[in-house]
Copies of this chain bind each other. A is one copy, B any other.
Amino acid sequence: MGRGYIIPIGGAEERLRDPAILERFVAVCGGPEARIAIIPTASSERRTGNGYERVFRGLGAGAARSLPIYDRRDCGDRRFLRRLERADGVFLTGGNQLKLSTTIGGTQVADMLRRRNAEDGLHVAGTSAGAAFLSEHMIAFGEEGSTPRAHMVTLAPGLGLTHTAIIDQHFRQRDRLGRLLTALAYNPRPIGIGLDEDTAAFIDPHDRLVVHGSGAITIVDPSELAFSSMDSARQDDAVCVLDVRLHILTEGAAYDIGARRATPPAQARETAAS
């Protein structure tokens, strides 16, 4: 069946008045046929999962069920695994991404999400911490500021649905370009995806992303990087980084991660499948 969608959301997505992002997620998963499983692990607020159940049902999803996975033992629970086996879409809530990686990492839940997203068309969305966790290299935490400094970001292994991007969220609201550049300067292989709040990247099976939401997505493409001083920078040193390509994408704009090519909103709408 091939890969499902990977859908990082920048946090604080609209849930009531105009829940365009969540509505689109439900549609991608099959609308009235969609079985959605919610993983609330990142959140310290136990009602988070039930809140999303109500939102997704209100948006017409066939089924929406929160799986109360809060410790590593829960990740072997047969009932949860059966739900994930049958789901069309999985939604990871916000909170703390290290809760996600320490609780789910290396368990049957993580294995199933990876396998079913890669081979079985399972769509996986995450907001805020849930977005950060999706990629192979996850930003665990870091400092604010728009220019990079050595050691200002800490990476950790994430869920690993994709190697092609490092994801950061609350991007504009928390001034995170510096830490994303720092993360990419270590190894400019992936691109950086910086998501403003209430803004989502719908990444299709061919690694082509389309932007939806009220903010912007900052794409940082280091593939033409001519120089980085990261190898010699000491703690808190400013880091020199030459020839980074930057795109600010808004609603309807698209980006082809493989080809490293951006498309403005109108043109993208004409050619997009999503």
A residues sitting closer than 8 Å to B (CB atoms) are 144-148, 171-173, 175-178, 181, 194, 196, 199, 214-216, 218, 220, 226-227, 229, 237-251, 253, 262-265
Contact = CB atoms under 8 A, between A and B. Distances in A.
B245 A241 contact: no
A264 B176 contact: no
A251 B194 CA distance: 27
Given A146-B146, A171-B147, A172-B145, A240 B265 contact: yes
Given A145-B173, A216-B148, A253 B240 contact: yes
A111 to B, nearest CB: 36
Nearest to A262: B242
A216 B245 contact: no
B181 A148 contact: no
A188 to B, nearest CB: 13
5 contacts: A146-B146, A177-B177, A199-B238, A216-B240, A237-B250
Contacts of A147: 171-172, 194, 196, 215-216, 218, 248
Contacts of A194: 146-147
